[in-house]
Amino acid sequence: MAQTRCQEHYHLRAALISLPQPGEDAQPSLAGKTIAQRQLLFARECGCTMVIAHGGGASEDAIAMRHAAEKAGMRYQVISNTHALSGAIGNNDTLLVLQPGLLPEAKQALDLLRAEGDRLLIVSAGPGAAAGLERIDLDRAWGGAMTLPGSWLERLGGLPEDAAPHAALLRIALQQRLPEARMADTVLDDGRWMIVDSEETARWREKGWLRDHLGDSSSGQFSRWIAQQTIGRAGSWLVERAWSRPAFLGFAAVLLGSSVAAAIYDSPVAAFALAALSVPVLEAFFALSRLIAAPFGRTRRLYLLRHAVDAALLTVSLLSIDSLWYRAAFPSFVLIIALVLLDRGVVRPLIEPLCDRGLVAVSIAALAVLTSSEIAIMLVAFVVLAARLSPDAKNSG
């Protein structure tokens, strides 16, 4: 919806993204994507339907960029010199220009570029120059992005072919008095809008980037915490592997299926232990999904898969109680309903571990070693229900 609105406002059509010239080093990458591919994601979020890459068309970066553009449903074209740019853009089109090496993930900049009308993003000269952005004068620095009308590209014909297109277009934008939009200087502070021009800078930013997009997780939610710690250490490697997400999801499904199978064959301890193991694996799948979708993608619907663990716990509980059906059903349903209700409240750290299905399942498995499965499930269900009714748990709504 935002993309369509953006196109209706000012017909943003293409984005100019720089690639390494023949003989130059490959671009640094961050969490499995080059800086140019990060710029492509930003351009798509702005509503661009076409990418114009300036640089060598046969390099690994260019080939990877083409694949990324096609996967995003965008047209892709490579130009080797500045003069070719005017032939790629019509007079009624709009061009988004991004400074080479810019990591563009700031929401404020995105909102400014989505607004109606072409514009030049600027920041204060001091902070901008310190961040590697191009200084305009004593007061201003180019913010690294601008949109301008395609009709202005005809002015590139009077410049040398080997002129850097982004610098030339900045000069044209200033001469034509392109309207300016000032970004807050604080947008440069958190690493979401910065120049990444070396592998060292990319590695430094990657640590914060992984932390930002994985989010915070309390150690009380042990399964989620251990999953995020694991993905945080191997996330950049896993993001590059197409098999990583299906592998985590498939492994979680195998564990849940094995849990139900163990319950069918009268092994309740093993059944609950396998269910417990599935929880951090599934949380690792969620964490990895967030990294792959970041920074603009959404993964909310994926979290419905957490109910698969609840369904497995309910099934295993019903199968593990060797009694009349209503005696098996009562504690099993009380346990699951109490867990779901606890999720819908705001809990304090003291009772937060009870929201962790992994800890709940392993607790039942441990108790089932000492007593019957029925008593183990009843005890844990009672504790969870008591926690939900305690003053430490408050309604979220």
| Residue 69: predicted pLDDT | 93
| Residue 11: predicted pLDDT | 61
| 18 strand-pairing partners | 54
Rg value, the chain, Cα = 27
| Residue 3: predicted pLDDT | 43
- Tell me which amino acid residue 171 is: R
151-202 pLDDT tens trace: 999 898 888 878 889 999 999 999 999 999 999 999 999 899 999 989 999 9
User: Is a pLDDT exceeding 60 seen at residue 8?
Assistant: no
As a 3-state breakdown, the chain gives helix, strand, coil percent values, each rounded to 5, of 60, 15, 25
**Contact residues for 87 (Cβ-Cβ < 8 A; gap 6+):** none
Helices (H) and strands (E) in the chain, counts: 15, 13
50-73 pLDDT tens trace: 999 998 777 788 888 999 999 889
Q: Encoding tokens for residue 130?
A: 């310190």
Over residues 92-99, the mean pLDDT reads 93
User: Is a pLDDT exceeding 90 seen at residue 86?
Assistant: no
Q: Which tops the pLDDT comparison, 46 or 219?
A: 46
241-262 pLDDT tens trace: 889 999 999 999 999 999 999 9
| Residue 244: predicted pLDDT | 93
Query: pLDDT confidence of 236, banded at 50, 70, 90?
Result: confident
Query: pLDDT confidence of 37, banded at 50, 70, 90?
Result: very high
Q: Encoding tokens for residue 194?
A: 């910065």
| Residue 322: predicted pLDDT | 87
What is the distance of C-alpha 146 from the center of its chain?
24
| Residue 35: predicted pLDDT | 93
- Tell me which amino acid residue 294 is: A
Residue 8 CA to residue 381 CA, distance in Å, equals 55
User: Is a pLDDT exceeding 60 seen at residue 12?
Assistant: no
Closest of 243, 84, 97 to residue 166, by C-alpha: 97
Closest of 127, 153, 150 to residue 140, by C-alpha: 127
Per-chain mean pLDDT for the chain: 89
Residue 302 CA to residue 140 CA, distance in Å, equals 43
The answer to whether 82 and 162 are in contact (CB under 8 A) is yes
Residue 323 CA to residue 97 CA, distance in Å, equals 70
